[in-house]
Amino acid sequence: QVTAKTAFLFILPQYNVSVPTADGELVQYHYGLKDLVTILFYIFIAIVLHAVVQEYILDKINRRLHLSKVKHSKFNESGQLVAFHLTSVIWCLYVVVTEGYISNPRSLWENYPHVYLPYQVKFFYLCQLAYWLHALPELYFQKVRKEEIPRQLRCITLYLLHIAGAYLLNLTRLGLILLLLQYLAEFFFHMARLVYFTDENNEKLFNVWAVVFVVTRLFTLTLYILVIGLGLPRVETQALDPERGNFFSFLFNNILFRMSVLLLVCLFQASVMWRFIHFQLRRWREYWNEQSSRKRAAAAAGTKQQSKPLKRDSGYHENGVVKAENGTSPRTKKLKSP
């Protein structure tokens, strides 16, 4: 029995409480230091799953494609992220639909702070934190190139800050919707990279990703304005109360603070869109340069073929021998000496 209690500490979310509702009591959860033990356990689970995907799927595909070292590393990165993003999108969509966060957008800010979480919401956040924390030792296990490490560290840090911030500041509902939008765009991007590595002439999925990326950015900006600009200022409990999990809703009564936050959000989204536009322009420029070079090469080959001199025979062939037009051989006969 003691072993079972210890195992439950690693496997199951902790800090469950019974919350009274109109239909009776509902078991929900809040966070605490014991969550670190659960996250540690699922870090090891994520490392094992990472190795399984790498060995039984990605390595077998790499042997067939014969990619270079640079493409091999990028292929492995995108392959792992495609599996993770697809799983997270399906899981996150199931959570937000069953909890009613999409059908009732007001629930994103109503009754804030959302201290008590349903089981599936808390478990989702713990698994997300475990995955992005496991990505740190994977940089060593996967032997990532030194020039790629800063970029991947920035990506991991941003995800950890977003997920941990939403979890600790009781903004889990908004965080779920934002993660769903972000993971959806990232899934199409890494899927397009995988298709490109298998066939460099196939870039159609990049166009799909471009559309999805722009749409998700617009939805993300709209959600920030809706929740921060309109929703949180209307929360009834506006006093600072860390014990109840109300950390900063009182700040949104100040219009100057609210506008400053929205300005920072808009600037961040604008910088993301600028990098996206710069990437698209560079890709289109490379595409058109490649197309023009192919046309010039084809035109040069056609000109060379036309300028090549053609040998013409004065007559026709019969049984492999050239005959003159009157049927005689065009070669002059040798006269016999008398």
Confidence band, pLDDT 50/70/90 cuts, at residue 63: confident
72 domain residue, yes or no: yes
pLDDT computed for residue 38 by the predictor: 94
* Contact predicate 88/125, CB 8 Å: no
Largest Cα span, the chain? 135
Percent of the chain with pLDDT over 90: 35
Q: What is the pLDDT of residues 181-195, one digit of tens each?
A: 999 999 999 999 999
Q: Say yes or no to pLDDT of 313 above 80.
A: no
Helical segments of the chain, H only: 2-11, 35-53, 59-65, 69-98, 119-141, 149-168, 172-198, 204-224, 255-307
Higher pLDDT: 129 or 2? It is 129
Treating both helix axes as pointing N-terminal to C-terminal, what angle do 255-307 and 204-224 enclose, rounded to 10 degrees?
A: 170
Q: What is the pLDDT of residues 171-181, one digit of tens each?
A: 899 999 999 99
Question: How many structural domains are present in the chain?
Answer: 1
Average pLDDT over residues 27-33: 89
Q: Say yes or no to pLDDT of 210 above 50.
A: yes
The label of the residue with tokens 């808009």 reads 266
* Contact predicate 37/9, CB 8 Å: yes
Confidence band, pLDDT 50/70/90 cuts, at residue 16: confident
Q: Say yes or no to pLDDT of 86 above 90.
A: yes
Neighbours of 314 (CB within 10 A): 9
309 domain residue, yes or no: no
pLDDT computed for residue 239 by the predictor: 59
CA distance 106 to 102: 9
Q: Say yes or no to pLDDT of 286 above 70.
A: yes
Q: What is the pLDDT of residues 42-55, one digit of tens each?
A: 999 999 999 999 99
177 domain residue, yes or no: yes
224 domain residue, yes or no: no
319 domain residue, yes or no: no
pLDDT computed for residue 247 by the predictor: 61
Q: What are the two backbone dihedrals, phi and then psi, of residue 312, each rounded to the nearest 5 degrees? A: -115, 140
Distances (CA, A) of 73 to 85, 210, 254: 18, 23, 48
**Segment 270-273 long-range contacts (CB within 8 Å, at least 24 positions apart):** 272/217, 273/214, 273/217
CA distance 173 to 95: 10
Q: Say yes or no to pLDDT of 99 above 70.
A: yes
Number of residues that this document lists for the chain: 338
Higher pLDDT: 95 or 264? It is 95
Neighbours of 148 (CB within 10 A): 15
pLDDT computed for residue 1 by the predictor: 59
Q: What is the pLDDT of residues 211-225, one digit of tens each?
A: 999 999 999 999 988
Percent of the chain with pLDDT over 70: 83
Amino acid identity of residue 274, one-letter, is: W
Q: Say yes or no to pLDDT of 94 above 80.
A: yes
pLDDT computed for residue 70 by the predictor: 80
pLDDT computed for residue 316 by the predictor: 46
DSSP 322: E
Closest CA to 41 of 116, 134, 122, 124: 134
CA distance 215 to 208: 11
Distances (CA, A) of 51 to 44, 97, 134, 162, 174: 11, 31, 12, 26, 32
Higher pLDDT: 178 or 303? It is 178
51 domain residue, yes or no: yes
Residue 41, beta-bridge partner list:
none
pLDDT computed for residue 127 by the predictor: 95
Judged by DSSP in three states, 265 sits in helix
The label of the residue with tokens 């993301």 reads 272
Domain hosting residue 192, numbered range: 1-202
268 domain residue, yes or no: no
Higher pLDDT: 23 or 71? It is 71
Q: Say yes or no to pLDDT of 317 above 50.
A: no
192-201: b (≥16 Cβ within 10 Å) or e: bbbbbbeeee
258 domain residue, yes or no: no
Confidence band, pLDDT 50/70/90 cuts, at residue 251: low
